[in-house]
Every structure is written in structure tokens, then in C-alpha cells.
Structure 1
């Protein structure tokens, strides 16, 4: 549970939006380059990750291993549009958005989905404690 000292530094307003946008960039730069150490550091030990196609994972290790096995050097993630960020009093923030996934070998962006991340700010560190990744579907290219 967050203590008052932990939440004193919680940004608000535009500063919160910039903070979460920066975190999103950093975590997915690590995701896209398969820097699994850095990627894993953005998740709490007991993260809950809900994925409509992949099921549920209940630990940082499970999330990192699934990413290493299914994503690394295969696809890259790109943010589509802008993020929505909402504060959570004395805890952190909710981040919501849409992303697409592009094949590393062809560069073709064939999949899209939505996400909601719950970020906790504690002891000077931001980590995701809950992730919901859903509405994954093929991108309609109109062909």
C-alpha cells in the first residue's frame, strides 16, 4: 500500500500525461528491441496480465517469458493515436490506448488491439500492476 511519502511525488495533469507517455515509450522500446531485463523492470512481481488471445499471466517472469517466446524478433508494437491517462488517487494512473503490431521481417502491420495498463508509483518507481490487452484483430487493408 502506498504511503503518503510515496505519493507526494505523483505528478498531476499534463505532467502525469507526459510521465505515462514517456513510460509507455520506454517499456515498448524495450519490448521492440527484446531488452527483457528493462522490459521486465516495468512490471510488478505479482502483475496480472490479461490477454484476450493469450490468456492470463500472474507474474513478471511469466510476462517476460511469453514476450521472449512469442514476440522477440517477430513483431514490433506501435502506438496508434494518443494515450488516455487518468490518475488513481494515492496510487498512480490508468493508461489506455490502441496499438498495432508489425512483422519484423516484412514491416507489414497486420494486427491491432486495445490496452489498459494500471501503473503504480511506489518508492520512486513506476510499475504496471495490471495489464488488460484486448480486441486484437487483423487490420483491414481494404483489399
Structure 2
């Protein structure tokens, strides 16, 4: 059941990403946040959403989340207990896209909403607001909802991996059906 709920979440609102950079979306951070950390986390975010949601690149996705990855969502509770469980849901979502069962979508960061803070000897916290657009075949993108996120990134052997996700305060766009 949890796998199905995670697949519904991935399918319904967060199936793709817009390319972003620190220049396109200025980041507000604490005084101990270096510009190097901001650039690294911004890039890791873009790579993750591009591989997992935009391109359904399952090979690239394997190395983007930690083994002990956890995902919490305000509508559905705890969605993933491990990286493997999350990636299984991603594979199901991608299969659904190919079969026409799932609609493509795009995730877009809201300018000036992202904040990044270092976590000493571990990684970083990234918080912000994002929008989710449905991408119906042959039609213009449709804003479906906005939400808040908190990501905990861990640097593992020099590579950034997403370790924890809190996805909350989801609000449907005006006129959007849930």
C-alpha cells in the first residue's frame, strides 16, 4: 500500500524538474553557509529531480539517495523507509508514464524561497517552496499545487545524497482538481 501511495505522489505532483541554478533562484542562507555549499546543494537538487522525475533515469537515480532514505508527506504520512523502497516507487512511476497510466509533471522551485544551512560533519538542510505542474500531452502545463519542503542532504564519499524529505503544506492551485 505504501508503495502505491508513494507512486501516486510521484505521479500526481512531482514527476519532473525545471533546470535551476543558484543564479536563477537566489538562496538565502545563514552566515556560516558558504557559496560553495549553496552551489553544491543547488546542483544536487537539480541533478536529483532531473534524473528521478524529468528523465526517469533509473541508473543515475540509484546513487542520489541514501540507503536509509526516509520520505514523509503531509497527505500520506511516511512514504519510504529506504532508498530502495523510494527507487522502486520511481521505477513504478516511470513504467506508468510509458504505459500512459501516469501523467507527466514538473516541479519548479519558487524564486527566493530556498534556504540552505550546513549540518556539521554530516551535510546540509535545504528548505523552500515548490510548485507542481501537470504536463498533459499536447497541452500547456497546468499548475496543480504548491508545497513546502525540507531536505536533509548527506555528503557520502564526496557525493551529495538526499537522506530525508519532509514534504508539507500542499495547497491546490486555484481551480485545480485534487
The TM-score, its normalising length taken from structure 1, stands at 0.81
Q: 1:54–1:68: structure 2 CA closer, same or farther, 3 Å change rule?
A: farther
Q: 1:67–1:113: structure 2 CA closer, same or farther, 3 Å change rule?
A: farther
Shift of 1:69: 3.7
For residues 117 and 72 of structure 2, the distance between their equivalents in structure 1, rounded to whole angstroms, comes to 20
Deviation beyond 3 Å, 4+ runs, structure 1? 67-73
Q: Report the more deviating stretch, 39-48 or 62-71.
A: 62-71
For residues 32 and 124 of structure 1, the distance between their equivalents in structure 2, rounded to whole angstroms, comes to 25
Kept in 2: contact 1:86–1:93 (CA 8 A): yes
For residues 36 and 135 of structure 1, the distance between their equivalents in structure 2, rounded to whole angstroms, comes to 28
- Counterparts of 1:9-48 in structure 2, within 5 Å, are 13-30=34-51, 31-48=53-70
The alignment yields a C-alpha RMSD, in angstroms, of 2.2
Secondary structure in 2 matching 1:78 = strand
Secondary structure in 2 matching 1:81 = coil
For residue 88 of structure 2, the aligned residue among 59, 65, 75 is 65
The TM-score, its normalising length taken from structure 2, stands at 0.66
- Counterparts of 1:100-139 in structure 2, within 5 Å, are 100-105=131-136, 106=139, 107-139=141-173
For residues 58 and 138 of structure 1, the distance between their equivalents in structure 2, rounded to whole angstroms, comes to 27
Secondary structure in 1 matching 2:170 = strand
**5+ unaligned residues in a row in structure 2: which ranges?**
1-32, 98-103
**5+ unaligned residues in a row in structure 1: which ranges?**
1-11
For residues 172 and 90 of structure 2, the distance between their equivalents in structure 1, rounded to whole angstroms, comes to 20
User: Which residue does the alignment assign to 2:109?
Assistant: 79
Secondary structure in 1 matching 2:111 = strand
Q: 1:49–1:20: structure 2 CA closer, same or farther, 3 Å change rule?
A: same
Shift of 1:55: 2.4
More strand by share: 1
